[in-house]
Amino acid sequence: MNIPNTELLRRFDVPGPRYTSYPTADRFVEAFGAADHAQALALRRAGPAALAQPLSLYVHLPFCESLCYFCACNKIITRHHERAAEYLRYLESEIGLHTLQLGRGQPVSQLHLGGGTPTFLSDAELRHLMDMLRRNFRLQDGGEFSIEIDPRTVDGARLRAVADMGFNRISFGVQDFDAEVQKAVHRIQPEEMVTGLMEEARAVGFASVNVDLIYGLPRQTPGSFARTLEKVTRLRPDRVALYGYAHLPERFKPQRRIHSADMPMPADKLTMLALSLEALQDAGYVYVGMDHFALPGDALAVAKRQGRLHRNFQGYSTQPDCDLIGLGVSAIGRVGASYSQNAKTLEEYYDHLDQGRLPVARGLTLTRDDLVRRAVIMALMCQGQVVFESIEAAWLLDFRSYFAAELARLREFEDMGLLEIGDAGIEVTAQGWYLVRAIAMVFDRYLQADRDRAKFSRII
């Protein structure tokens, strides 16, 4: 099955970016602000992209009722559900400011609600949010409209309500079915709860149901995680997202509640990954790339086979590479040759909007070199290959000369059987596809320059 052996996995068990963007978000600067983002929006409206490409929307809903100790997301823990109504009022203001720059009725082919816990909002509040979006944007027929769901916050009736709102893809946060692991991370959700919701989701008819799993959590063992994998493959979700837990308590305060003595040994974590790769492929899942698996008939697996895979801040996507508008506290967007991120605290986010400004706190305008390297990195991450001629034609450069140092470094990967360098380009092998982050890192000019990788999660 061309799965890397544990020795190879161990060799690449190093920190590195996930490349949902290039340059990565840690390179954003505060010198980029609301005026820069407004200019990027105005340029889109005036340019051909406004006619040729639909938008992608991401809405960040930060509230959660309880704290999961492993979580590194930007969230607000509260049981005061009335806070959602105030947040929606500010979201409406932010949407209005974007519409002012873009014009009303811009087509949208992809929408994702993340958090936090989007289902912290009531059905009425979620409907109100969808109405706001539809008044300002045109959600296209056949688009991908997805929402993250905490199984502890919904039942069958809520799933049907979500479908009636127009969502056709849902993602359940499962992480692990083991009761001891759930206790250690403060997230108790019995297996029966998820099983019942999966049955309901199938009855409702969502186009795709995803399940999130995490390996490397406290009190996990290879044996316990193998049992979770067996249960998940029996449930047969359309997609599985398998993430390695990044234990960074110095950066993420909730993780300080996890006892170090409960953490699995690095060798056990690698074993869990190897077991997962084997179990999911044995169950018929296609390895899409970078933690993502899908059944062969799922749109993501089809896009992988047909070379139509794309990548944005939400991960792999079937949608064409398009501008992304990030709405809500801490949301990240991409418009043209720029990235932007909203203020990370509610106080700052609300303050910007109270003053009638887009709530952008930082961002980046990409240089020509950034754009060239982004094209190479995304080709590797999505297609598993780089065709020299296509990069040369698009950017008027000689690939072998421009990337001479990078090609020299890649010879080591070639010797390990992870890729092949030919006259026409670079081709990632079946085994190399599992380690594509490490290959992409070679082209990351910022990473190669400072070598400060401790801020990233580990590749494995």
Give the angle 119-120-126 at the CA atoms, nearest 5°: 60
117 annotated as ligand-binding: yes
187 belongs to an annotated ligand binding site:
yes
- Phi, psi (degrees; rounded to nearest 5) at 393: -70, -40
User: Tell me, what amino acid is at 64?
Assistant: C
Is residue 246 marked as binding? Answer: yes
Report the alpha-carbon distance of residue 420 to residue 43 in Å, rounded: 40
279, 233 Cβ separation under 8 angstroms: yes
Question: What radius of gyration, in Å, describes the C-alpha atoms of the chain?
Answer: 22
Q: Which residues pair with 416 in a beta bridge?
A: none
Angle, vertex CA 348, rays to CA 343 and CA 354, nearest 5: 115
- Does 72 show up as a binding residue in the annotation? yes
> Residue 355 corresponds to which tokens in the numbers above?
């003053």
* 145 annotated among ligand-binding-site residues: no
114 annotated as belonging to a binding site for a ligand: no
Q: How many CA atoms lie within 13 A of 332 on its CB side?
A: 19
Instruction: Give the position of tokens 């959590």.
Output: 217
Element containing residue 143 per DSSP (H, E) = strand 137-149
Beta bridge partners of 200: none
**Is residue 73 annotated as involved in ligand binding?**
no
Structure tokens at 455: 């801020």
Residue 212 is labelled as binding a ligand: yes
Closest CA to 36 of 345, 341, 323: 341
Q: What is the DSSP string of 196-221?
A: HHHHHHHHHT-SEEEEEEEES-TT--
Residue 68, marked binder: yes
Number of neighbouring beta carbons within 10 Å of residue 203:
11
What's the token pair of residue 17? 């970016």
Percentage helix, strand, coil, to 5, in the chain? 45, 20, 35
Which spans in 153-285 are helix H? Answer: 156-164, 179-185, 191-204, 222-235, 266-282
Annotated binding site for S-adenosyl-L-methionine: 58, 70-72, 115-117, 148, 175, 187, 212, 246, 332
Annotated binding site: 58, 64, 68, 70-72, 115-117, 148, 175, 187, 212, 246, 332
Annotated binding site for [4Fe-4S] cluster: 64, 68, 71
